[in-house]
């Protein structure tokens, strides 16, 4: 609107999607009022869902972010009770009978997610908004399942204007599509092991099974920069600040399985984005330092100010633990998930994992409130140039 090219990156956050949506409900009207409408929307997993919904509702102007939040808080069940579903019985049967029973593709039956998504997702409206230039580019990231070996590639299914340069990551493909379909979105959010892989049929040359884009490309910051953005807005469901140094502990009390699993998940979903933001901050500072000695036409790019909205470390894990009220028996899907996580541990690691898989109305509403609060704080601070949590430059 004012000549700026604003990019919005929504990282993968699983059940923490409502936090991002709450932030969008504050960010979008503020950015529009400032003449800085996001025109490049990139998302992964839950962030891919929110990015696509934001493109769908873009024709509602300042209300678009709130519409995304409303979808998240009305989602309801995402998967059926795993204790009563066929997948659990087949896992048990295969462990007893071996090859007589076919292996399962996932531990959870996500038909409720697909059924609800079919009701709220309108791919034609998304295409119409992109054709109208609001936004110029929409892309969701997914990870293709290889037919041989175990090395995977990331694919950005892109509608609208292509990036001006190829991705720096040699294992990322930019795949242009005629329309972002439900399959593209569900593929981006297909959590490995928990959710079934999603088959994507179009484009024909890229057809195959896909899982969550967060496996390799949880926050496509480089893709946003490749699209020539002059400002960047990042919304994450995980902290992007440097974690504190842990205190030394004596031997004899090793962390439980939930704790080590939570560490691994956090590293995949958060550390890459944190590194990207710190690298962008360092690059901005370096460009500032050479302004007086290098002519403008010979500088390697321009500074890209950014906003980064993210929770404090452990904040959403604590919220999930406070909200979760399992029944005595696994009569609900969330109660069943809680019982399964309890078997892995009972500390902060369990709470961290719970916060990623708890699709609950009250949890979603409180996340939206936290996302709104944090977005207001970030907007009050203003655009940053330096690395996160360091003195700006």
Active site residues: 45, 212
Give me the phi and psi of 302, to 5 degrees please. Answer: -125, 160
Cite the DSSP H helix spans in 241-301.
257-266, 272-289
DSSP 120-172: H--HHHHHHHHHTTSSSEEEEEEEEPPSSSS--EEEEEEEESPPSS--SSTTE
Q: Single out the residue of 24, 31, 89, 80 nearest to residue 53, CA to CA.
A: 24
By DSSP bridging, strand 231-235 and strand 137-144 are: unpaired
Q: Which residues contact 354 (CB under 8 A, 6 or more apart)?
A: 317, 320, 321, 324, 337, 338, 341
Exposure class string for 208-218: b at 16+ Cβ within 10 A, else e: bbbbbbbbbbb
* Residues 6 or more apart in contact with residue 326 via CB below 8 angstroms: 332, 334, 335, 338, 339
Identify which of 197, 346, 225 has the alpha carbon closest to the alpha carbon of residue 284. Answer: 225
């Amino acid at each position: 609107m004012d000549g700026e090219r604003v990019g919005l990156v929504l990282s993968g956050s699983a059940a923490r999607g409502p936090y991002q949506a709450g932030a969008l409900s504050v960010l979008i009207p503020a950015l529009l009022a400032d003449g800085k409408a996001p025109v490049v929307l990139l998302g992964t997993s839950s962030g891919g869902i929110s990015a696509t919904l934001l493109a769908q509702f873009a024709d509602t102007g300042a209300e678009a972010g709130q519409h995304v939040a409303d979808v998240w808080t009305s989602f309801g069940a995402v998967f059926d009770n795993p204790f009563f579903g066929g997948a659990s019985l087949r896992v048990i049967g295969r462990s007893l009978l071996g090859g007589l029973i076919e292996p399962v593709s996932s531990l959870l039956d996500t038909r409720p997610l697909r059924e609800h998504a079919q009701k709220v997702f309108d791919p034609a409206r998304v295409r119409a908004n992109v054709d109208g230039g609001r936004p110029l580019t929409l892309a969701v990231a997914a990870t293709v399942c290889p037919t041989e070996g175990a090395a995977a590639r990331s694919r950005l299914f892109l509608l609208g204007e292509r990036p001006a340069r190829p991705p720096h990551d040699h294992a990322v493909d930019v795949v242009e599509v005629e329309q972002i379909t439900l399959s593209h979105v569900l593929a981006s959010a297909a959590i490995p092991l928990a959710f079934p892989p999603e088959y994507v049929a179009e484009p024909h040359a890229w057809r195959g099974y896909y899982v969550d884009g967060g496996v390799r490309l949880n926050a496509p910051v480089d893709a946003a920069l490749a699209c020539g953005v002059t400002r960047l807005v990042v919304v994450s469901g995980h902290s992007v600040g440097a974690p504190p140094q842990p205190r030394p502990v004596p031997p004899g009390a090793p962390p439980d399985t939930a704790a080590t699993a939570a560490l691994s998940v956090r590293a995949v979903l958060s550390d890459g984005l944190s590194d990207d933001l710190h690298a962008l901050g360092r690059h901005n500072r370096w460009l500032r330092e050479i302004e007086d000695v290098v002519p403008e036409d010979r500088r390697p790019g321009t500074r890209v100010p950014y906003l980064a909205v993210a929770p404090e470390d452990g904040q959403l894990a604590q919220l999930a633990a406070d909200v979760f009220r399992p029944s005595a028996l696994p009569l609900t899907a969330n109660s069943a998930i809680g019982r399964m996580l309890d078997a892995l541990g009972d500390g902060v690691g369990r709470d961290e994992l719970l916060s990623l898989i708890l699709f609950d109305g009250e949890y979603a509403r409180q996340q939206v409130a936290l996302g709104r609060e944090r977005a207001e704080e970030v907007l009050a601070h203003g655009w940053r140039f330096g690395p996160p949590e360091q003195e700006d430059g």
